[in-house]
Amino acid sequence: MASRPPLRTVSTVSTASSSYSTDSPTAAPPGGVPQSITALLNNPLPSAASSSYWLPWPPPAPLPDAPPPPSNPCEVSRADFAPYLATIADPFARFADIRLHASAELAASDDDSRGARVVSSGLAACLREVPALFFKEDFALEEGATFESACPLGDDNLQERLGQHLDVVEAHLVREIARRSESFYEAQGRLRGLDGEIVAAVGRIRELREVVRVLTGDLVGDAQQVQELNATRGNLVALQEKLTIILYVSQALTALKLLVLAADCAGALDVIDDLQNLLDTDELAGLYCFRHIRDQLGTSLDSVNSILSAEFVRAAVPDGKTVDAMILSNVKRRSSMPLNGTEHEVIIDEEESFILRDRLLPLIICLLRTEKVPAVLRIYRDTLITVMKASIKATVAELLPTLISRPIDSDSVTGDRAADSDAGGQSLANKLRSLSSEGFVQLLSAIFRIVQVHLLQAAEVKRIVEWIMRNLEGNISADATNPVVQHGSSVDFPQENDYGVASRVSNTVTRSTTKLTVFQGKTTDMSSINSIKNVRADVLRESTEAVFAACDAAHGRWAKLLGVRAALHPKLRLQEFLIIYNITEEFIAATEKIGGRLGYNIRGILQQQSKQFVDYQHNVRMTKIKAVLDQETWVGVDVPEEFQAIVLSLSSTDFPVNGMEMPSIDNNSKLSEEGVSTSPETAYSDNGNGTSTTNHENSAESTSQTENSVVGHVRSISQTIVHGGVGYHMVNCGLILLKMLSEYVDISKCLPSLSFEVVQRVVEILKLFNTRTCQLVLGAGAMQVSGLKSITSKHLALASQIISFIYSLIPDIRRVLFLKIPEARKQLLMSELDRVTQDYKIHRDEIHTKLIQIMRERLLANLRKLPQIMESWNGPDDNDLQPSLFAKAVTKEVTYLHRILSQILLEVDVQAIFRQVVQIFHSHITEAFSKLEVNTPQAKNRLCRDVQHILVCIRKLPAQNFSAETIRNYGLLDEFLAEKFGTKLTSD
């Protein structure tokens, strides 16, 4: 045991005194004289030892010795103290004056308000005597204005006045200092007393320290040595533990390198977790040899993550080369066969699904431990998109030479595509444009299969990730309402023979989650649970986004292929375009089913090309119908059975849902747009002023009719086309319009999303047909464009039949076209169709009015010749019993009109027309006959015969009975006959 330290001696009073005299900051020099200049100058009670030659008062005389006490204490009187009182009388008087002065100052300081007023009065007096300029804060004589105010030039008494100001200020300052001097002295005394007490306390503290030192050495020395030995033993044990940890860490780092090189990611993560746990618990704190261990663990962890990421991408992304080669070989083998349909059913085998799950399971678990699953899924998403785009590009490059070498159907090749083919296909776009529609569909079919393989693989990976995350419910509650989980279609894996795998996943993920929590230096609390939930949500979102991105990339490539041929698709036939449209719709539906999100981009492009197809087809038909109308000669044609089938299909309530199934009219069975048919007719031509002239031909009018409007192979031919139980005579342009309307209906049924557009186009073509027909027939435009010499009543009747047929067909067309149109949009289209229907009705009525006008003009023309004919009636030798030329001409023309119209028009239309004709005959002929001056019996007889002849003809006309009489077509002419000649013509 170490020897005790020697005891220290206790400090003496002299030591304390010397310490006090040296340590005190206000120590006095020997003799007791203070070193403060203020105390030396102002102390009223100076020390007796100090020099007194400079003091304002003499030093006090030494007190006399006290007289001896009296022998008897009870006999003390005041006289006994007289010498003493006489000796101290003068100092006592001075002391009393000082106390009196101190009491006055103390009373003044206690009264704050009174003191403030005193100070204020002194300062106010000073300010009254000294100008306020000198008390400003910014007072500076170097400034010109201040100098001029303070020191005006030419003032002789300036120096004296400034001196007076200084004296006033100095006097006030001295007075204020004097008022406060007593407080200063009192504070000075108290400070000196406090210094003395501090010096005494320091001495006592030193004594106590010495006592404590002696007691420590005598009483607790041995115990302290035992404690130090125990501390030494504990340090050695800790050193051994540190050395053990150093050995373990060194071996672990060596094993970690080997595990990383061997790609044993699970073992490497276990080692990294243990080492990280040592770091987080400060087990390696202070070990300089392991100062870089965090960087080493970070590097190893990055290597493990790189290995896991590469393995995950390699296992999740399908081997595109093998799949693409198989699909390409299948497409090349099938490319020589006609395209009868598309087959895009791709199914992943259940065994392959289990193999893929077993490959991905350990990788995903390890990635969950490092919280790198979202980042790896993002890498996987980019890789999947790149591989799929490369597969599509390779497929296009591989298939194009094979598909281009196939013979191209001449009917389906447009001028633009033929030009691209002649150019040699110098670019990929030109090669794609040079493909036939069948070849392009073959290419799309191959791309469809390849995309579907990649997307199904991606969907399978997504389902595996979701299945693994659902097994985390052992640690956190399953979030059944998570929108990320519910988004898209997820199919659970089969549950049989899966209990062991599920249990292994749950246990492994639980252990990994615990290690991950320790790895992050956290405890298993609500914050860690929330962190795990966030990771789970990120994983599910990224797995879903990977499938979304793959679908978007596939849509983009498909849309790009469609965009290259955007100029060709509108020019295809409906069936060709429909095949491309259907395979695109099937592609969109399949990818949306896998991805779970709508492809707005590709749908927009498909809708745009469909609209372009409708617009192009409409423009072609508009141009064609204009050309057909301009070439129309308005002669009747026979109606093939195909057109009657169109009418029946339009009128049927069981209309085909997928389009009209009609016999196709190919190049060998097409409508001729140059058909001409002539027949006996009464012709009229407009002379420009609203009147008409008639071209009379002989009774044996030429009846040459060329039946070349319908050629090819037909099973049966009819004279009329029947709709609603009524037969309508047709001309070439009417049949072509019917065929076009059926094609519009086909487009509407095949492209239901464009039904609204189709209805608008149908309205437009119906308006054009009605307007142009009115211009050509009623406006006599056919005489200029078609080369007709005149517009005859037969032309008008055939035009009326066409207009009436379309008018009756519009409700059926509207019913068929409105099947796919939403109710909200039907009202607008219905109003437009109603206006078109009304226009057709007005047009038909105008044609009938024109026919009536023709007959009226012919009657007026004959009536103008009546006076000349009447001159021969008054001759005495007029014994002709036949009607006059006027009566014969009138009855012949109306009879011919009746024969023509009854052959073409409907019976109800004929009756409506001839009802007005009969009224015109009654009124005009009666008026003309009433104005004639009949004087001779011969003239009266001739007039009576004419009236009777005309009435006989009127009785035969199919006019509706417009009078209350029972006699057919009774009117003014009958009344004229009865009044003038007293006779009456009865009906047959």
Q: Which residue has the higher pLDDT, 272 or 838?
A: 838
**Is 612 within 8 Å of 703 (Cβ atoms)?**
no
Task: Kindly tell me if the per-residue pLDDT of 103 is higher than 50.
Answer: yes
pLDDT for position 619: 94
Kindly report the average pLDDT of the chain as a whole number: 74
pLDDT greater at residue 532 or residue 636: 636
Residues 282-288 have a mean pLDDT of: 75
Contacts of 889 (CB under 8 A, 6+ apart): 862
Residues 612 and 534 grouped into a single domain:
no
Determine the pLDDT at residue 579.
92
* Cβ neighbourhood burial of 890 (10 Å; 0-12, 13-18, 19+): buried
User: d(Cα 988, Cα 975) in Å, to the nearest integer?
Assistant: 18
Biggest CA–CA distance in the chain, Å, is 219
How many Cβ atoms are within 10 Å of 440's Cβ, its own excluded? 25
Q: Is 19 helix (H, G, I), strand (E, B) or coil?
A: helix
> Looking at the predicted structure, is the pLDDT value of residue 464 above 70?
yes
Question: Within this chain, do residues 444 and 539 fall inside the same structural domain, yes or no?
Answer: yes
pLDDT at 256 over 70: yes
Q: 373 lies in a domain? A: yes
Q: Six-digit token pair at 955?
A: 């009785």
Q: What is the pLDDT of residue 345?
A: 55
Residue 157 forms part of a structural domain? no
Residue 841 has pLDDT above 60, yes or no: yes
Q: Which helix (H) or strand (E) holds 175?
A: helix 158-179
Return the residue matching tokens 């595109």.
Answer: 320
Residue 451 in tokens:
């995309």
Residues 273, 402, single domain; the answer is no
**Residue 624's pLDDT band (boundaries 50, 70, 90)?**
very high
Higher pLDDT, 829 or 36: 829
- Looking at residue 949, its amino acid is H
Return all residues near 910 (Cβ < 8 A) that are at least 6 apart.
898, 901, 902, 958
By residue count, the chain amounts to 988
| Within-domain flag for 724 | yes
The answer to whether position 572 is within a domain reads: yes
Q: What is the pLDDT of residue 143?
A: 82
Say which CATH number the domain at 927 has.
1.20.1280
| Interval 369-405: pLDDT, tens | 888 888 888 888 888 888 888 888 888 888 888 787 7
Residue 556 lies in a domain: yes
Mean pLDDT of 617-621: 93
Percent of the chain beyond pLDDT 70? 70
> Residue with structure tokens 């206790």?
10
Domain count within the chain: 4
Q: How confident is the model at residue 532 (pLDDT cuts 50, 70, 90)?
A: confident
Assigned domain for 102 exists = no
pLDDT for the residue 985:
66
Select, from the ranges 77-86, 218-227, 892-901, the one with the highest average predicted confidence (pLDDT): 892-901
Tell me whether strands 791-792 and 683-686 are parallel, antiparallel or unpaired: antiparallel
Q: pLDDT confidence of 198, banded at 50, 70, 90?
A: very high
Asked whether residue 723 falls in the same domain as residue 807, the answer is: yes
With 60 as the cut, is the pLDDT of residue 45 above it? no
State which residues form the domain around 258.
188-308
Q: What is the pTM of this model?
A: 0.61
- pLDDT digits 0-9 by tens, 217-234: 777 777 888 888 999 999
The yes-or-no verdict on residue 628 having pLDDT over 60 is: yes
Q: Which residue has the higher pLDDT, 712 or 75?
A: 75
pLDDT tens per residue, range 141-182: 888 888 888 888 777 788 888 888 888 888 888 888 887 788
CB proximity list for 391: less than 8 A, separation 6 or greater = 320, 323, 324, 450, 454
User: What is the C-alpha to C-alpha distance for residues 801 and 809, in angstroms, rounded to an integer?
Assistant: 12
Percent of the chain predicted with pLDDT > 90? 15
User: Residue 552: is its pLDDT beyond 60?
Assistant: yes
CB 783 within 8 A of CB 791: yes
User: How high is the pLDDT of residue 331?
Assistant: 56
Mean pLDDT of 339-365: 70
Q: Number of C-alpha atoms within 13 angstroms, CB side, residue 936?
A: 13
What does each C-alpha distance from 44 to 57, 213, 599 come to in angstroms? Answer: 8, 48, 108
pLDDT score for 234: 92
CA-based nearest residue to 402, from 358, 353, 438 = 438
C-alpha–C-alpha distance, residues 557 and 794, integer Å: 60
Based on the domain organization, do 324 and 292 belong to the same domain? no
Task: Supply the pLDDT for residue 963.
Answer: 57
One domain, residues 231 and 380: no
**203 and 327 both lie in a single domain:** no
Which residue did the predictor score with more confidence, 540 or 153?
Answer: 540
**Residue 879, pLDDT score:** 61
Core vs surface per residue 178-196: b (16+ CB within 10 A) or e: ebeebeebeebeeebeebe
d(CA 367, CA 369): 5
Q: What is the pLDDT of residue 91?
A: 84
Q: Which of 792, 822, 853 is the last residue of a domain?
A: 853
| Domain-embedded: residue 593 | no
Last residue of a domain, one of 853, 884, 904: 853
Q: Can you tell me whether residue 318 is helix, strand or coil?
A: coil
pLDDT in tens, 291-316: 788 888 888 888 888 888 888 888 88
Q: The tokens of 233 are what?
A: 């033993």
β-sheet bridge partners, residue 722: 727
Average pLDDT over residues 537-564: 87
Asked if the model's pLDDT at residue 831 lies above 50, the reply is yes
What pLDDT does 114 receive? 53
Q: Is 267 helix (H, G, I), strand (E, B) or coil?
A: helix
Inform me whether the pLDDT recorded for 33 exceeds 70.
no
Q: Measure the CA–CA gap between 852 and 856, rounded to whole angstroms.
A: 6
- pLDDT score, position 838: 93
State how far the Cα of 432 lies from the Cα of 55, in Å rounded to an integer: 126
pLDDT at position 710, please? 35
Considering the domain architecture, whether residues 641 and 769 belong to the same structural domain is answered as yes
Distance, CA of 791 to CA of 794 (rounded, Å): 8
Judgement on whether residues 278 and 332 belong to the same structural domain of the protein? no
Inform me whether the pLDDT recorded for 791 exceeds 60.
Answer: yes
CA dist 435 and 257 (Å) reads 58
Shared-domain flag, residues 195 and 296: yes
In a domain, 345, yes or no: yes
What pLDDT score does 684 carry?
Answer: 38
pLDDT for res 5:
39
pLDDT for residue 500 is more than 50: no
**If you average pLDDT over residues 736-760, what whole number do you get?**
91
pLDDT-based confidence at residue 964 (cuts at 50, 70, 90): low
| Nearest alpha-carbon partner for 558 in 592, 516, 512 | 592
Q: Tell me which of 587, 612, 630 is where a domain ends.
A: 587
Instruction: Give 715 or 644, the one with higher predicted confidence.
Output: 644
Q: Phi and psi for 722 in degrees, rounded to 5?
A: -100, 130
For 466, list phi and psi in degrees, rounded to 5. -65, -40
Q: How far apart are CA 613 and CA 569, in angstroms?
A: 7
pLDDT tens for 646-661 read 999 888 765 543 344 4
Whether 220 and 291 map to the same domain: the answer is yes
- Is the sign of the CA dihedral 501, 505, 508, 510 positive or negative? negative
Q: Tell me how many degrees the CA angle 128-132-133 measures, rounded to the nearest 5.
A: 150
Give the highest mean pLDDT range of 337-341, 358-362, 480-484, 721-725: 721-725
Reported as a pLDDT band with limits 50, 70 and 90, residue 987 is low
Q: What's residue 731's pLDDT?
A: 92
Within 8 A by CB and 6+ apart from 162, the residues are none
Average pLDDT over residues 344-371: 77
Average pLDDT over residues 416-436: 63
**Is pLDDT above 80 for 11?**
no
Q: Is the pLDDT score of 842 beyond 90?
A: yes
For residue 566, pLDDT beyond 60: yes
CATH number at residue 784: 1.10.357
Indicate if the pLDDT at residue 423 is higher than 50.
no
* 732 and 784 housed in the same domain: yes
Record the tokens describing residue 580, joined without a space: 């491309």
pLDDT at 558 over 70: yes
